[in-house]
Amino acid sequence: MFSLPNLAYAYDALEPTMSAKTLHFHHDKHHAAYVKALNDLLGVAPKHITSLEDVIRQSALGGADAAKLFNNAAQVWNHAFFWQSMTPVAADPGPELQTAIQSSFGDLAQMREAFIKEGVNHFGSGWVWLVASGGRLSVVSTHDAHDIITERALSPLIACDLWEHAYYLDYQNDRKAYLGAWFDTLLNWAFASSQLAAASGNGVAWRFDTPTESAKAA
Ligand code: MN
């Protein structure tokens, strides 16, 4: 079974940008529900399953029952990646990432503008991502549960949740204010830098924890 990952920070560590109340609902209710639904769909101790990434890729291929499995598996992955994409510890982009930002966007301010614009203009629920492809960065968004690892030959560096549950308690309908504050105060540049290094062959990209073979918890 797959486990709900613990946050690497306290629930109130991202305040005031993201309230403890939002994080409790988002992690303890929304993300937990996706994990439970995923494990229920997969059944008890499926020994043939070795990674969440494989579940996502295989269910993305389609089939009558695949959509529900894909949606829950991808949302489990996306949220875990989203927790990694945030930190209360301020840092700057590493040198390699700074160079890539300059060559791809001009400068950090233009990357910020592109990221926020993509998120604001995204219709409905989904995710906005900073991605790398061959050292070139871009900003893309995906709908609902859709992710990066199945859809495109891109490496995700960070993701921000555009579902209303991610920001409505703190910002109501003001997605732009949420995205701006998120980018300015929470974006985990150290994580983005390590993801970019991994995409260039230096180190290992983040992966979801492998499943355990234990029977389902009560
Ligand atoms: Mn969410």
Q: Which two tokens stand for residue 27?
A: 């992690």
Q: How many domains does the chain have?
A: 2
Q: Is residue 168 assigned to a domain?
A: yes
In this structure, which amino acid lies at residue 12?
Answer: D
Q: Do both 99 and 195 map to the same domain?
A: yes
Going from the Cα of 25 to the center of ligand 1, the distance in angstroms, rounded, reads 9
Angle ∠(119,10,197) on CA atoms, nearest 5:
55
Q: Which of 202, 198, 95, 115 is nearest to 149 (CA)?
A: 198
Q: Is residue 157 assigned to a domain?
A: yes
The CATH number for 166's domain is: 3.55.40.20
214 pLDDT tier (thresholds 50, 70, 90): low
pLDDT of residue 6: 96
Going from the Cα of 29 to the center of ligand 1, the distance in angstroms, rounded, reads 10
Q: Do both 150 and 68 map to the same domain?
A: no
Helix (H) or strand (E) holding 103: helix 95-105
Tell me: cis bond preceding 16? Omega within 30 of 0 counts.
Answer: yes
Going from the Cα of 106 to the center of ligand 1, the distance in angstroms, rounded, reads 31
pLDDT of residue 206: 95
Q: Do both 31 and 115 map to the same domain?
A: no
Q: Do both 74 and 54 map to the same domain?
A: yes
Segments forming the whole domain that contains residue 72:
21-87
Is residue 58 pLDDT above 60, yes or no?
yes
Give me the mean pLDDT over the 131-160 stretch. 91
Q: Which two tokens stand for residue 133?
A: 């492809």
Give me the mean pLDDT over the 173-188 stretch. 98
Going from the Cα of 31 to the center of ligand 1, the distance in angstroms, rounded, reads 7
Helix (H) or strand (E) holding 156: strand 155-161
46 pLDDT tier (thresholds 50, 70, 90): low
Going from the Cα of 85 to the center of ligand 1, the distance in angstroms, rounded, reads 13
In this structure, which amino acid lies at residue 67?
Answer: A
Helix (H) or strand (E) holding 119: helix 108-121
Mean pLDDT across the chain, nearest whole number? 92
Going from the Cα of 79 to the center of ligand 1, the distance in angstroms, rounded, reads 6
Is residue 212 pLDDT above 90, yes or no?
no
Q: Do both 74 and 100 map to the same domain?
A: no
Strand, coil or helix: 154: coil
pLDDT of residue 64: 66
The CATH number for 77's domain is: 1.10.287.990
Going from the Cα of 145 to the center of ligand 1, the distance in angstroms, rounded, reads 9
pLDDT of residue 135: 83
Going from the Cα of 69 to the center of ligand 1, the distance in angstroms, rounded, reads 17
Is residue 218 pLDDT above 70, yes or no?
no
Going from the Cα of 153 to the center of ligand 1, the distance in angstroms, rounded, reads 24
Angle ∠(56,59,64) on CA atoms, nearest 5:
155
Q: Do both 134 and 65 map to the same domain?
A: no
pLDDT of residue 121: 97
Going from the Cα of 169 to the center of ligand 1, the distance in angstroms, rounded, reads 13
Domain-terminating residue out of 57, 87, 117: 87
Going from the Cα of 163 to the center of ligand 1, the distance in angstroms, rounded, reads 6
